[in-house]
Amino acid sequence: MTDRAEHCVLGISAYFHDSAAALVAGDKIVAAAQEERFTRRKADWRFPKNAVEYCLSVLPRGAELAAVAFYEDPSQKLDRIVRNAAANAPRGAAIWPKTLRTLQVLNKALPEELMEILPDPRRIYFSPHHRSHAASAFHPSPFDEAAILVVDGVGEWATTSLWHGSENGIEPVREIRFPHSLGLLYSAFTQYCGFRVNFGEYKLMGLAPFGRPVFKNFIYKHLIEVDTEGGFTLNLDYFDFETGNSTLSPLFHRLFKYPPRQPDEPISMHYMNVAASIQSVLNEVMCALAETALRLTGSANLCLAGGVALNCVANSEMARYTKGLRRIWVQPAAGDAGGALGAALDVSRQLPGARSDKGGSGTDTMAHAYLGPDYSAQQIRQALEQYPLVYESYADDEPGFRTAVSEALQGGHIVGYFDGRMEFGPRALGNRSILADPRPRDMLQRANNKIKFRETWRPLAPVVLAEHEARLFDRPLADPYMLFVSQLKETYRSKPNLNQMRAQGLSELAQYLNRTPSKFPAITHYDYSARTQSLTREANPRLHAILTHFFDHTGCPMLLNTSFNIRGEPIVCSPLDAVEAFLNTHLDLLAIGTFLVRRAAQPDRLQKRIGKKKFHAD
Amino acid sequence: MRIKDIELLELFLETVCEASESQSQDDDAGTTALTVPGPEANRACSMEQQLGNRANLMEQLADRYAASGQSKLALATRRLARALEEDHLLSSDDGDRHQRLLDYVYPVV
């Protein structure tokens, strides 16, 4: 934390999806966290009182809060909602109560909540939604100049926007407006394939490799018209999101000849092909938009944000195939949570006396996304003794700790790993992670069935020693944030591959299970892709030391790394959350701060808790 | 149908349905491809600037509509602003909003 007295700005995103708060001092990011982590309610949309409280608790000494920045312009959003309701009336009656409620929140609740934090309307700022995203993408990036591409569902009016970032700040270049939205299009297919909108888009992306893009031209013909610059128009006859209680209109169902898949139904080849097709369309449109952004700005660097920028397959396609692209950087909290950070950075630069330290140093200023709360040894000990758990205590940096964790991993144990500051954004990057050996054939199933309680076809991701990554993967770039996919090298692939499995007549997803064609089956998808986290010593010395020890004794330079949470719940935040997750799952070991908690050492009454808790579908 | 539902429907008819004649589906919205953005996308402004001399943002929006000759939209927005002052019209939003997310629908409003 900085001790320098400097103006601080608190950024806030709220009232839509995944609310968050962020604190910046000048250009320096002091703290950022999502509200869901504190309230334990996934993607919590309510005003982030707890995240705000956390951010203000780490206000640097001698600094004062100069401004509060909200990540949207409520006037523009009110304008969009009122105009849209009028334009569509009398359609829209079904969602009228919801429309009114949103109007009331923007008109009344939001200003009141903001004034409670800083009771001075001259120091409360509204940064437009896409501007907030663009600021979150450019200001922390390693570039001193870049094109910026923002793509999401919708904020005020813009759904897609192109910007230019330079030492003078960010300037808008082009935009596409509601209701034409790539994010909404992808969400429509998410709904069609039986996944929850705003939650299940990553499942749709994960489903795509099982299918073939046989509907791609069909989608271009009927649903989205795309020009050579990546500009697009949706055929609104097939969508109902403007006025109805469904994203899809009945015409959409008829177009694909099958009804939307129900969430508990088996996933047939039809839905796999649909997923592959929309992913292919998304890849192509994103690449076209990226090329246009580079051409219009004359830049070779690209920054990305907006919810669609969490689609790591599309990101990788852009990184590999965009003409004229030299370097790419994606805001790790690319969704609405990151808007809080962008708004704060944007407003901070506009305050009187603001100075920018941005110099294109080649490294980003996200502090490896470790921007959330951390907890003292005393706080951790209190959580452990609350039950009480039987635990081992180690001194700081004692080699015995990393040896014990590594040996547990070598022994096939699954480890809940909790250390330091919580990550900001949707990915666990080694401070709130579940770790395991990626090589055993049954590890994916064990982790999915016994720990995560989620669908067994979904792959998990690896954390890889940066110095060994290129030996294992063909990668678009070394990425510390799990925002791109790499391809496993030929040497580490096994048979039968996906085409051979298809040739065997496999037609339902369940038939593919446990047949990942890889020597690292827990972290490789069926198309050999893996969402790698490239780990350096500098980023996370303690985890790096554990992984190095694991590599020294196994020859395997990577671990399975998945978020430390249970299905339907947010990633753990506090030591008590970690203890609860440990007790409600089949985790073998909890490594928390400098303490180790072994499952086998716990008394029977705690062992009996496992499997008792009911989990919500996500 | 509850009394509250009827009140909501009346409000729907008296506001956006009344204003709908002045709005076409693509009026000022739905630009079909990449366009140069307006100046509003280019700046953050303070709450004081947004409110002007008005008590709330809806009233300020109504003023803007009126100033640009969109009288029906201005009238509808003023009525809505007044109606939203009545707390009984909308009960707690928590459960309903949660349901929206469970409904597999992208919440554009």
pLDDT of residue A517: 87
The torsion defined by the Cα of A69, A293, A484 and A535, in degrees rounded to 10, comes to: -60
* Average pLDDT value for residue range A382-396: 94
Closest-CA distance, B29 to chain A, in angstroms, reads: 6
Spatial distance between the Cα atoms of A205 and A107, rounded to a whole number of angstroms: 36
pLDDT of residue A457: 84
DSSP letter for each residue of A538-560: TT-HHHHHHHHHHHHHHS--EEE
A243 touches chain B (CB under 8 A): no
Q: Encoding tokens for residue A222?
A: 């009927």
Contact status, residue B109 vs residue A81, Cβ threshold 8 Å: yes
Amino acid present at A224: I
Q: Count the neighbouring beta carbons within 10 Å of the beta carbon of residue B25.
A: 13
Shared fold status for A4-140+336-365 and A182-329 = yes
Closest-CA distance, A376 to chain B, in angstroms, reads: 34
- Give me the phi and psi of A56, to 5 degrees please: -70, -25
* Average pLDDT value for residue range A279-305: 98
A233 touches chain B (CB under 8 A): yes
Q: Encoding tokens for residue A371?
A: 């921007």
Q: Count the neighbouring beta carbons within 10 Å of the beta carbon of residue A6.
A: 21
For the cut 80, the answer to whether the pLDDT of residue A359 exceeds it is: no
Spatial distance between the Cα atoms of A216 and A220, rounded to a whole number of angstroms: 6
Spatial distance between the Cα atoms of B10 and A556, rounded to a whole number of angstroms: 68
Region of poorest pLDDT, from A106-120, A254-268, A280-294, A439-453: A439-453
User: What integer best gives the mean pLDDT of chain B?
Assistant: 77
For the cut 80, the answer to whether the pLDDT of residue A189 exceeds it is: yes
A85 touches chain B (CB under 8 A): yes
Contact status, residue A165 vs residue B24, Cβ threshold 8 Å: no
User: B47 and A111 in contact by Cβ < 8 A?
Assistant: yes
Q: How many residues does chain B have?
A: 109
Spatial distance between the Cα atoms of A472 and A518, rounded to a whole number of angstroms: 12
For the cut 90, the answer to whether the pLDDT of residue A135 exceeds it is: yes
pLDDT of residue B90: 66
Residues in B closer than 8 angstroms to A197, CB to CB, are 101, 104-106
pLDDT of residue A5: 52
Exposure b/e, A127-154, CB count within 10 A at least 16 = b = bbbbbbbbbbbbbbbbbebbbbbbbbbb
For the cut 60, the answer to whether the pLDDT of residue B29 exceeds it is: no
In terms of Cα–Cα distance, which of A613, A466, A446 is closest to A533?
Answer: A466
Closest-CA distance, A232 to chain B, in angstroms, reads: 5
Upper half-sphere CA count for residue A302 (Cβ side, 13 Å): 30
Contact status, residue A562 vs residue A430, Cβ threshold 8 Å: no
DSSP letter for each residue of A280-301: HHHHHHHHHHHHHHHHHHT-SE
* Chain A / chain B CB contacts < 8 angstroms: 235
Amino acid present at A55: C
In terms of Cα–Cα distance, which of A591, A576, A579 is closest to A542?
Answer: A591
Pairing of strands A533-535, A415-418: unpaired
Q: Comparing A65 with B16, which gets the higher pLDDT?
A: A65
Spatial distance between the Cα atoms of A236 and B30, rounded to a whole number of angstroms: 10
Q: Is A425 left (phi over 0), alpha (psi -120 to 50) or beta?
A: left
CATH of A377-607, one of 3.30.70.580, 3.40.309.10, 2.40.160.20, 3.90.870.20: 3.90.870.20
In terms of Cα–Cα distance, which of A364, A290, A10, A306 is closest to A132?
Answer: A306
User: B34 and A16 in contact by Cβ < 8 A?
Assistant: no
Closest-CA distance, B75 to chain A, in angstroms, reads: 12
Spatial distance between the Cα atoms of A437 and B4, rounded to a whole number of angstroms: 58
Whose tokens are 């709450």? That residue is: B47
pLDDT of residue B23: 67
Residues in A closer than 8 angstroms to B83, CB to CB, are 100
Q: Comparing A86 with A449, which gets the higher pLDDT?
A: A86
DSSP state of A463: E
Q: What is the pLDDT of residues A467-478, one digit of tens each?
A: 999 999 998 899
Q: Give the largest Cα separation in chain A, rounded.
A: 70
A121 touches chain B (CB under 8 A): yes
Closest-CA distance, B99 to chain A, in angstroms, reads: 11
Top residue of A75, A80, A173 to mutate, by most chain B CBs within 10 Å, is: A75
* Average pLDDT value for residue range B81-89: 80
Residue of A nearest to B78 (CA): A82
DSSP state of A265: S
Q: What is the pLDDT of residues A76-125, one digit of tens each?
A: 999 999 999 999 989 888 888 888 888 999 999 999 999 999 999 999 99
Closest-CA distance, A17 to chain B, in angstroms, reads: 9
Region of poorest pLDDT, from A115-129, A213-227, A452-466: A452-466
A617 touches chain B (CB under 8 A): no
In terms of Cα–Cα distance, which of A442, A424, A422 is closest to A432?
Answer: A422
Q: How many residues does chain A have?
A: 618
Spatial distance between the Cα atoms of A530 and A613, rounded to a whole number of angstroms: 31
- Give me the phi and psi of A32, to 5 degrees please: -160, 140
User: A100 and B80 in contact by Cβ < 8 A?
Assistant: yes
Helices and strands, number each (H, E), in chain A: 21, 23
Residues in A closer than 8 angstroms to B12, CB to CB, are 89-90, 92-93, 96
pLDDT of residue A244: 84
Under the banding of pLDDT at 50, 70 and 90, the label for residue B106 is low
Q: What is the pLDDT of residues A314-356, one digit of tens each?
A: 999 999 999 999 999 999 999 999 999 999 999 999 998 787 7
Report the percent of chain B where pLDDT is more than 90: 39
Residues in B closer than 8 angstroms to A117, CB to CB, are none
Helix (H) or strand (E) holding A317, with range, is helix A312-321
Q: Using CB atoms, pick whichever of A43, A100, A124 lies closest to residue B84.
A: A100
Q: Is B30 left (phi over 0), alpha (psi -120 to 50) or beta?
A: left
Q: Using CB atoms, pick whichever of B44, B50, B108 lies closest to residue A242.
A: B108
Under the banding of pLDDT at 50, 70 and 90, the label for residue A502 is confident
Assigned architecture for domain A4-140+336-365: 2-Layer Sandwich (3.30)
pLDDT of residue B101: 38
A288 touches chain B (CB under 8 A): no
Q: Using CB atoms, pick whichever of B9, B41, B56 lies closest to residue A108.
A: B56
Give the helix ranges, DSSP H, for A351-421.
377-385, 399-410
Top residue of B57, B77, B84, B89 to mutate, by most chain A CBs within 10 Å, is: B57
pLDDT of residue A615: 67
Residues in B closer than 8 angstroms to A233, CB to CB, are 32-33
DSSP letter for each residue of B15-84: IIIHHGGG--TTTT----S-BPPPGGGG--EEHHHHHTTSSSHHHHHHHHHHHTT-HHHHHHHHHHHHHH
- Highest average pLDDT, of A133-142, A256-265, A351-360, comes from A133-142
Q: Encoding tokens for residue A133?
A: 């995203």
For the cut 50, the answer to whether the pLDDT of residue B27 exceeds it is: no
Contact status, residue A244 vs residue A95, Cβ threshold 8 Å: yes
pLDDT of residue B94: 47
CATH superfamily of A182-329: ATPase, nucleotide binding domain (3.30.420.40)
Report the percent of chain A where pLDDT is more than 90: 78
* Average pLDDT value for residue range A268-294: 97
Exposure b/e, A94-118, CB count within 10 A at least 16 = b = ebbbbbbbbbbbbbbbbbebbeebb
pLDDT of residue B28: 47
User: Where exactly are the structural domains of chain A?
Assistant: 4-140+336-365, 182-329, 377-607
In terms of Cα–Cα distance, which of A419, A279, A273, A424 is closest to A338?
Answer: A424
pLDDT of residue B98: 44
pLDDT of residue B32: 55
For A469, the 3-state DSSP assignment is helix
Q: Comparing A17 with A573, which gets the higher pLDDT?
A: A573
User: A101 and B30 in contact by Cβ < 8 A?
Assistant: no
Residues in B closer than 8 angstroms to A308, CB to CB, are none
Contact status, residue A149 vs residue A162, Cβ threshold 8 Å: yes
Under the banding of pLDDT at 50, 70 and 90, the label for residue B109 is low
In terms of Cα–Cα distance, which of B79, B31, B106, B68 is closest to A86?
Answer: B79
What angle (nearest 5°) sits at the alpha carbon of residue A282, between those of residues A277 and A285? 125
Q: Using CB atoms, pick whichever of A87, A173, A198 lies closest to residue B24.
A: A87
For the cut 70, the answer to whether the pLDDT of residue A7 exceeds it is: yes
pLDDT of residue B3: 60
